[in-house]
Amino acid sequence: MLPQLLGVSFLAMGIGLLLMGLGRQFTARLQRRVGPPFYQAYIDILKCFSKGSITHGFVMDLGSIMSLAGLLATAYYVPFVQWTATGSGSLVIILYMMTIGYLGMAMGVSATGNPQAPLGISRALALMFGYKIPLVMVILAMILVTGTSDLLSIVNAQQGGPSHWFLLKFPIGFIAVEIAFQGMIGERPYDMMIAPAEIASGPMVELSGKYLGLAFLLHSVQLYVETALIVNLFFGGAANPATFFGKQVFVYLTSMAVNAVMARYRIEQGIAHLWKWAGSLAFIQLLTTKGGF
């Protein structure tokens, strides 16, 4: 079990950091810049862990570890190339474990004492209610159709080529999840939780050294888990690692294209927009699903 857990952890962090690097290059190209190399995220991690760190006590240490451990545990349940370390990746467990990671970060940064940090976390937790509800409604529609909450079984139900993908069976739900995904990864127009020019990066304002490095790793695992979740739910997973990663890149770069051209919403605007559009589309998908209400 330990080798599998370590393998999944390094896989999630490695792919997530690569996605971060590709996203930065893609954004630079859209803005007619050269941008950093695709491996810049790996260099940033090495730099962070090679520098000194300032801690604000045991709660900050525990929260930083808890947040990363929560998402790494989530990655353990998400199938990669029709394989999962546990053999059973229930969507209920996955959604629950994802929440633990965010709560761990909230506990850690709240101990720093900087008023900008809890402000950013409060925005992040408030925004969670905006994107979680549409995501849960779309997942419920899939469960009603497939009769199971096991993610690997949902992937197997899409085998047979692109014509069997749930992207075509749940097109409205896919749009809703894509809107929600923008909020899940904290990209514009839903980046009000960090808002660098407004609240000085919010949760990361007091982080330095290894703590900042852990925050980068947390974001990398978050990208891996959430892109892999969308690939499994709507694109039928993949038969080989290259195809699976290619689908992850497509999902993430689509989000980064929106990020490059949109401005930031205020927190109340962001939540209202998610409920109005993502929530409405997800509810329509649930109502129109065979076997739905």
**Which range has highest mean pLDDT (102-106, 154-158, 227-231)?**
227-231
Structure token pair of residue 225: 């888990």
At residue 29 the predicted structure's pLDDT band, cuts being 50, 70 and 90, is: very high
pLDDT in tens, 140-150: 999 999 999 99
**Which range has highest mean pLDDT (50-59, 75-84, 110-119, 267-276)?**
267-276
**Which range has highest mean pLDDT (36-40, 107-111, 262-266)?**
36-40
Mean pLDDT of the chain: 89
- pLDDT of amino acid 292: 46
- pLDDT of amino acid 99: 86
- pLDDT of amino acid 106: 80
Q: Which residues contact 163 (CB under 8 A, 6 or more apart)?
A: none
Sequence-distant contacts of 242-246: CB under 8 A, at least 24 apart: 244/80, 244/81, 245/15
pLDDT in tens, 167-225: 999 999 999 999 999 999 989 899 888 776 666 556 777 788 898 899 899 999 999 99
Please state, in angstroms and rounded to a whole number, the distance separating the CA atoms of residues 1 and 193: 36
**Which range has highest mean pLDDT (63-77, 239-253, 259-273)?**
239-253
Over residues 250-277, mean pLDDT: 93
Please state, in angstroms and rounded to a whole number, the distance separating the CA atoms of residues 199 and 116: 6
Higher-scoring residue by pLDDT: 277, 118 = 277
Say which range, 84-88, 152-156, 226-230, 251-255, has the weakest mean pLDDT.
84-88
- pLDDT of amino acid 87: 57
The total of other beta-carbon atoms located within 10 Å of residue 4's CB is 12
Alpha carbon separation from 152 to 69, 78, 186, 249, 253 (Å, rounded) = 22, 8, 27, 21, 25
Share of the chain above pLDDT 70, in %: 94
Quick check: 68 pLDDT over 60?
Answer: yes
Q: Which residues contact 153 (CB under 8 A, 6 or more apart)?
A: 146
Over residues 131-145, mean pLDDT: 95
- pLDDT of amino acid 291: 52
What are the percentages of helix, strand and coil residues in the chain, rounded to 5? 70, 0, 25
- pLDDT of amino acid 22: 97
- pLDDT of amino acid 88: 63
Domain boundaries in the chain?
2-288
